[in-house]
Chain A
Amino acid sequence: MRTVFDKLGLVRWLTDPLAIPFMQRALLATLLLAVAAGLLGTWVVLRRLAFFAHAAGTATFPGLVVAGPWGLAAPIAALGAGLGFAGLLARMTRRGTTSADAATGLLLTAALALGTILASDVYESGTAVDRLLFGTLLGLGDGDIALAAAAALAAVIATAALGRTWLATGFDPAGAPALGVRAARGDRLLLALLALTVVAVLPAVGALLVSTLLVVPAATARLLTGALAPLLAGAVALAAAEGLGGLLLAYHLDLPPGPAIAVIGGGVFALVALASSKRQTVS
């Protein structure tokens, strides 16, 4: 008798929150973002763009801070700040005297500092800072959902159309052009799509936690498979499952959803890494 109750309790723990409209909305956003971030995240991880993606996300913070006071739409302001970051990075590394990772770290820090100063001392929008940095999956508007849907659709189409180009270029950059693969164009489109995806996940998980959806699920899936198709599917599935888990945890424990997803993602990665290293030691 008790176990039946326990099972019922668990089922209701899972289903009750999803009967609430704002939770349904959050779930829809999570699933759309899981498709976008899972697919694109796989390419980000394969092409070793994880740090770049994290920094691009953080770099949008000052843009988000000024969006309100300047009367700009948040995605436009975020995109502007992100493109500014990419432009500065290209300029700083052009001569080859500053390495890309050092320049990325420097710009990331500068963006965070600039955003904080703008938020606290110039526009005194202190209360909004948490939301900009860590997202607000439970309070998304129609525009946010539409952007997530657009990013998901773009990621599906791009993976089908450009997957071969990205695979060949990442596998062997020197040899790809000789294969007749248009490597440079593929790379430009990858970065453009990365910008779109970063902007789409911002409202949900915030400027500091972009990697939660864009890097962590794909990096975890990479530990589980050595083939591309299961890697793409696994990254999407993990992003969706971790997103759902984070939502439920946030609802029941009254936590902010972005950090809840991040904690679950980190935990799953740690468990999978531990299990796969054990498996390797045994075999």
Chain B
Amino acid sequence: MSAASAAAASGVQVQDLSASYGSAAIALREVTFTATGGQAVAVLGPNGGGKTTLFRALLGELEATTGSVTVHGTMAYVPQTERSRLDFPVSALDVALMGAYGRTPWFRRITAGDRAAARAALERVDLADRAGTRFGALSGGQRQRVLIARALVQDAHVLLLDEPFAGVDRTSEEAIMGILAGLRAEGRVLLIATHDVEQARGWDRVLCLAGAQIAYGPPAETLTNAVLEGTYGEEIVMLDCGHRAVAIQHHSH
């Protein structure tokens, strides 16, 4: 499908969503937001704040306890590269081709058109010359771009990106920012789970989650000190300079 048609109808509407894992306590409560085509939404929150739960509910892998999720257009999930197996016998092109698996019946080979789409997607993330390289041999940033290429082959209208900048070098970060800006310009919806409050200020909307929705809106009005305190709790450190709060993550792995 063309980029123009993606722009026409894509969107995500979430109303009063609560979700839990099986019989466990509710992992995410009271989420309500609407994102329309061409918007990039930063999903902020501490570890365990509900970012992954929200994504899984959007993907339909987790049933909503209450509320509803409406997604217009096809959806793709771009995982963190550390979650994928680096020892697998797949090249960058093989991974991009996985984007066509869903539309290829089990008794068919991948079509020539999809092969061309995979090469074009790698070209778009500036990795055409690495198509034959084993995925595990690429840098963290290159791997992240291959996973974005996979979502492009899916031709997803809505992209859920899980920490796309984690473990990514400076050059790749800029490259990924450029790619995401291009996708936004095509009218696709981007939901970007991130820890980086500064970077979130650059997107169209921010969604702050800490077990429940703390706030949703344009970053300039939404990212107040009170909202950040509500989101990150005691993990927050206030910096006087620039009148901006910076969230410091205490990673306890």
A residues sitting closer than 8 Å to B (CB atoms) are 46, 161-162, 164-165, 167-168, 170-172, 174-175, 177-181, 222, 225-228, 231
A177-B84 contact, Cβ under 8 Å, with A225-B89, A226-B134, A228-B89 = no
Kindly state the separation between the CA atoms of A79 and B113 in the bound complex, as whole angstroms: 44
Kindly state the separation between the CA atoms of A174 and B59 in the bound complex, as whole angstroms: 11
Question: Is A46 within 8 A of B89, CB to CB?
Answer: yes
Question: Is A171 within 8 A of B106, CB to CB?
Answer: no
User: Can you give 22 A-B contacts (C-beta < 8 A)?
Assistant: A46-B88, A161-B106, A164-B101, A167-B98, A168-B98, A168-B101, A170-B88, A171-B85, A171-B95, A171-B135, A172-B84, A174-B77, A174-B79, A175-B84, A175-B147, A178-B76, A179-B102, A180-B101, A180-B102, A226-B89, A226-B134, A227-B134
Instruction: Tell me which residues across on chain B come within 8 A of A170, comparing CB atoms.
Output: 85, 88
Question: Is B84 within 8 A of A171, CB to CB?
Answer: yes
Tell me how many residue pairs across A and B have CB atoms closer than 8 Å. Answer: 72
Question: Is A179 within 8 A of B99, CB to CB?
Answer: yes
User: Which parts of B66-102 form the interface with A (CB within 8 Å)?
Assistant: 75-79, 83-85, 88-91, 94-95, 98-99, 101-102
User: Looking at the complex, which one of A162, A180, A228 makes contact with B90 (CB distance below 8 Å)?
Assistant: A228
Number of interface residues of B (CB under 8 A): 30
Residue of A with least CB distance to B89: A228
Kindly state the separation between the CA atoms of A177 and B56 in the bound complex, as whole angstroms: 10
Question: Is B154 within 8 A of A179, CB to CB?
Answer: yes
Instruction: Tell me which residues across on chain A come within 8 A of B78, comparing CB atoms.
Output: 175
B61 in the interface, Cβ–Cβ < 8 Å? yes
Q: Determine the main DSSP class of A at the interface with B.
A: helix
User: Looking at the complex, which one of B77, B98, B99 makes contact with A171 (CB distance below 8 Å)?
Assistant: B98
User: Which parts of B208-233 form the interface with A (CB within 8 Å)?
Assistant: none
Kindly state the separation between the CA atoms of A252 and B85 in the bound complex, as whole angstroms: 44
Instruction: Tell me which residues across on chain A come within 8 A of B76, comparing CB atoms.
Output: 178-179
A178-B75 contact, Cβ under 8 Å, with A171-B84, A171-B85, A227-B91 = yes
Instruction: Tell me which residues across on chain A come within 8 A of B104, comparing CB atoms.
Output: 164
User: Looking at the complex, which one of B77, B88, B107 makes contact with A178 (CB distance below 8 Å)?
Assistant: B77
Question: Is A179 within 8 A of B89, CB to CB?
Answer: no
- The distance from the CB of A189 to the nearest CB of chain B, in whole angstroms, is 11
User: Looking at the complex, which one of B84, B94, B103 makes contact with A180 (CB distance below 8 Å)?
Assistant: B103
Question: Is A178 within 8 A of B84, CB to CB?
Answer: no
Which of A167, A175, A227 counts the most B-chain CB atoms under 10 A from its CB? A175
User: Which parts of B179-200 form the interface with A (CB within 8 Å)?
Assistant: none
